[in-house]
Amino acid sequence: MFQITTGKKPRGFTLIELLVVIAIIAILIALLLPAVQQAREAARRSACKNNFKQVGLALHNYHDTFTAFPIGAGISGGCSGYSGSHLFSWGVRILPYLDQANIYNNLNFSGPSPFVPANFSSTTCLTPVQPFLCPSNPQPDAIVNKAGAFAGALPNGMPRTDMAGVADSVSWKCNSGAGVRPTSVGNGLLYAISRVKMRDIIDGASNTLMVGEITGSLSQSGLNGNSFTGYDVFDTSNGLNSIDTVPGGGTFAFRPQGFSSYHVGGCHFVLGDGSVRFISENIDQGTLSGITTRAGKEVVGEF
């Protein structure tokens, strides 16, 4: 047999064709990446919502045991109605109901008032608790407090939280003294030395906020976040994702501070009945105040 040859060599891609293929691939990647990022954020948001469901269930299990929700916070000085050292917050008190009894049992509750720093150990107690952390928050699991601000309650390395109790529809601070401690007369569900019962929520448990999302800062100087161990309650007076928060375009400061999240458009909240809602950052301020108070007798619509 004879092989017939044409004398032509196999033709490859020209430079222009190769550039066109690369451009098409780049366009496809550019179209795909946002979809992948959205899918990842949707998964993180779902995980965050599940964390809030766990915390809501833990709060109700605590209520079933003690016939009241835990105290929101406690700290001495500046306000009438309570005194003593820094008391463990609501987050510490529900640890046994979050399968964290090993941490809770290492704490020392003896004495007239448990003191947070005396019980702090990054290896035996008060370590990070995953249900309190949002997967969308890029911060480390422990707060930084290099400047020593609030050193009595939040020493450097204290476990971070992305949740706080809803204390009030107005300022969470005391009206007297130093004016920087949580109020003991909050109109919400978790405030200083609060012992709110289900029967006290006359506005309706399904219409009253109890725990919401908070954020800190990536800064490595000063105080850059919150801990579930000390006083961890704030108010809704400045709205959601306000200028006082990093997601709202501001700079983190322990006060003033409101509720915010790294999810687009709003924040997760646990309500008094244990349900979880994602509340829009565009919610009317009057409505937000109405769903903050436990006994304000406001009439609120859809939110």
Q: Is 31 a domain residue?
A: no
- What is the extent of the structural domain holding 67? 47-290
Residue 194 domain-assigned?
Answer: yes
Kindly indicate the confidence band of residue 84, based on its pLDDT and cuts at 50, 70 and 90: low
The verdict on residue 276 lying in a domain is yes
18-32, 52-66, 118-132, 245-259: which is most confident = 52-66
Is there a domain that residue 211 lies in?
yes
Q: Is residue 16 part of a domain?
A: no
Q: What is the pLDDT of residue 74?
A: 73
User: How far apart, in whole angstroms, are the C-alpha atoms of residue 198 and residue 171?
Assistant: 23
pLDDT of residue 26: 85
Closest CA to 58 of 24, 98, 93: 98
Mean of pLDDT over the chain: 84
* Residue 115 pLDDT > 80: no
Where does the pLDDT of residue 302 fall: very low under 50, low under 70, confident under 90, or very high at 90 and above?
confident
Compare 106 and 109 and report the one with higher pLDDT: 106
Higher-confidence residue: 84 or 170?
Answer: 170
The amino acid that residue 103 corresponds to is I
- Residue 1 domain flag: no
Residue 26 lies in a domain: no
In a domain, residue 158? The reply is yes
Among the residue ranges 53-62, 166-175, 255-264, 291-300, the one predicted with the least confidence is 166-175
Q: Compute CA distances 250 → 216, 256, 258, whole Å.
A: 11, 11, 11
pLDDT number for residue 9: 59
Mean pLDDT of 101-119: 73
Residue 231 pLDDT: 79
User: According to the model, what pLDDT value does residue 10 have?
Assistant: 60
What total number of domains does the chain contain?
1
Q: Label residue 16 by pLDDT band (50, 70, 90).
A: confident
Nearest alpha-carbon partner for 79 in 231, 292, 269: 231
Q: To 5 degrees, how large is the angle CA 58–CA 174–CA 204?
A: 40
Bridge partners (DSSP) listed for residue 55? none
Q: Residues 166-188, buried b or exposed e (16+ Cβ, 10 A)?
A: bbbbbbbbbeeeeebbbbbebbb
Pairing assessment for the beta strands 276-280 and 266-271 based on DSSP bridges: antiparallel
Among 151-155, 185-189, 232-236, 274-278, the range with the most confident prediction by mean pLDDT is 274-278
Q: Which amino acid is at 294?
A: R
Does 167 or 256 have the greater pLDDT score? Answer: 167
For residue range 135-192, list pLDDT tens digits in order: 999 999 998 887 665 555 677 888 999 999 999 999 877 654 445 677 788 899 999 8
Which pLDDT value is given to residue 111?
56
